[in-house]
Amino acid sequence: MSWGNRLLITFIVFGSGMIYLVYRCMNTEFELVEKDYYKNELAYQEVIDASKRSAALNSAVKLTKTGEEMRLLLPAEMKGKKIEGEIWFYCAYDSKKDKRLSLKTDEEGVQVLPVSLLLPGRYLARISWKDGTDSYYQEIFLTIN
């Protein structure tokens, strides 16, 4: 085999490799945490302040899974207050598993959720709520089998 044929084969293999890499890069899925990432990043100081207020409470939010239900228990300071908020079950590796639910606790600060709402996986429960005057925020890791 002459040097010209070897050079031609080298260029063909190199070109084919580049075409394959470009094809793979074009078909890769990139998911951001949120669609409006930049807008939410500008308002992140509010989340930091809400996290500090939540940390200053006497107890933390508790999320326990027992059998076929999950129990969300807000701190004792929230009992008897009108609470408005949201629970976002965020799955880092698959946005199709994410769930956003409104926070609807009873007078004792408890909300019961069925486990069947979530597909199996590892979630970060992002809980944000307001008690009328202040806002609070806490994150809890949760694994559903």
Range scoring the smallest mean pLDDT among 7-21, 22-36, 62-76, 91-105: 22-36
Residues 89 and 142 sit within 8 Å (Cβ to Cβ): yes
* Of residues 43 and 97, more confidently modeled: 97
Q: Which residue, 61, 65, 39, is CA-closest to 50?
A: 61
Find the farthest-apart pair of alpha carbons in the chain and give their distance in angstroms, rounded.
88
pLDDT grade, residue 81 (50/70/90)?
A: confident
Q: Which two tokens stand for residue 89?
A: 């079950």
For position 89, what pLDDT does the model report? Answer: 92
Report the predicted TM-score, pTM, of the whole model to 2 decimal places: 0.71
pLDDT grade, residue 31 (50/70/90)?
A: low
Domains, in order of start, for the chain: 45-144 (2.60.40.10)
Q: In what order do the strands lie in the sheet with 110-114?
A: 62-66, 69-73, 110-114
Q: For residue range 108-140, what is the model confidence (pLDDT) as tens digits? A: 888 898 988 889 989 999 999 998 888 999 999
Average pLDDT across the chain, whole number = 87
